[in-house]
Structure 1
Amino acid sequence: MDFATFLIQLLNGVQYGLLLFMLAAGLTLIFGIMGVVNLAHGSFYMLGAYLAYSLSGHFGSLTLAILGGAVLAVAFGLALEWLLFRHFYHRDHLDQVLLTFGLIYIFEELRSILWGDDVHGVAIPKLLDWSIPLTDTLSYPVYRLFISGVCIVLAVALYLLISKTRLGMKIRAGAFNRDMAESLGVNIKLIHAIVFALGVGLAAMAGMVAAPVSSVYPNMGSSVLIMCFVVVVIGGIGSVRGALIAALLVGLVDTFGKVLLPSVAGMLVYMLMAAVLLWKPEGLFKQ
């Protein structure tokens, strides 16, 4: 493998890892802070992709589609938390699994009614539709660098929100000791609604920015859901920092595995998870 090929695969691995982080961050926040096992999280990724497809056609701009789609996804998350999820916080995990598993089928049926079962494409904005030449025959698409840049900006914003703001302090307090936080005047119901909406928004944002390179198709959320759980388990449930490091590890292992060891590439990510759990059963970082 020459340096140019290595660089391309490295960039691909980092971009895939950062995209996984956007998905896994919301999942680990919802599970770590609210205690909800959300199997429907991949459906929010699919929702974002289909919003990008619809809104970009309506507005004629992917940028406006992403901005509008993010607002709609957060509003949808707030409504879903108010209608369904807040009634399951104190229920068994099995009840939560049954609820979210049922939501997967509901969302898929709604997707089929609204958008049909065809595969759709989302055009890359002209400003980003070019490549950086690396050699005479190899180049790297600028839009993939844009995806990485968006993910990095959101990762930094999420870190600042949780670590440096009053809202973040309340989120951490509610995760550490809900009863104590409530006794100090923290509105835990509002905090849970915000966290859930944030998780939905991050997953939808990942689907929107990935739509031009991955296409938009039925059941696309199912393929990323398992990887999200792998990232959460490796990083440590409830740890955003762990989700970032684990997502980058999974992205690099998966990408280079498909190039260097294609015969066992499908196993490498799970072997990584098994090795981490043998070393640190609670994951790389505790909440």
Structure 2
Amino acid sequence: MRLHVINTGLFKLDGGAMFGVVPKSLWQKTNPADESNLCTWAMRCLLIEDGNKLILIDNGIGTKQDEKFFSHYHLHGGDSLIGSLQKAGFSEGDVTDMFLTHLHFDHCGGGVRYENAKLELTFKNATYWSNADHWTWATRPNPREKASFIRENIEPMQQSGHLKFVEPVAATFPQFDILSVSGHTEKMMIPKIRYKGKTLVYMADLLPSIGHIPLPYVMGYDTRPLLTLEEKEAFLNEAADQGYILFFEHDPVHECCTVKRTEKGVRVDQTFSLADIR
């Protein structure tokens, strides 16, 4: 098995929204804000190359929304979904499985694009994977999350006939186990990948960055913040005890880290890139 980092670009979100009740004087130490209180975040996806399978986990924000939409998020940087796939030696037609941790626009928007003025799947040879509970949640959105679930990103998966639901996990993806969490959104899927004798965990929005490791640092976007606290605590204790490698989707600087127990709770131990794992 080989893993490839797929960087799809950078964007900006309000720092207060990203850190909830934590004061700016604390969170800006790890994620400094600009004059508009916006912080830069990555959209870092992961490609799993395993035999005849090429599994992409999440796919970024995409390019199909209008100028007004993108003006809110200040996309920048030189990376793109297709460009990063090409750097890894692949094209969109090579992807066999498009695994979506959840269906918020910055995680699934790149999976659908406009071709000849029609919405088409970006990965035409791939199966698109969600789960039944989250799909129902996303396609019948509550008012609080409605803006994050964009129909153009979601409906073409089902209309194309390429959508499947993960069940049972072991039979679907022998490459990894899946941790299901519901604090951020209903039934978000966190892949726990067996890699080089270690467990690498794709953190999605359970832990967007190393700045979110302390327990109270919970996003204002989370639908059930107290549940996030419980899920984070259970996961971080397990990660510290088992020596997991955390792979961050949104951290603008750090790809990976390990964690350790301290008197203040679980904290960052070492940070490193995916390529550093031996």
Query: What is the TM-score normalised by the length of structure 1?
Result: 0.22
Bigger helix share: 1
Give the TM-score of the pair, scaled to structure 2.
0.23
- Which has more radius of gyration? 1
Greater relative contact order, per chain length (Cα 8 Å cut-off, separation 6+): 1
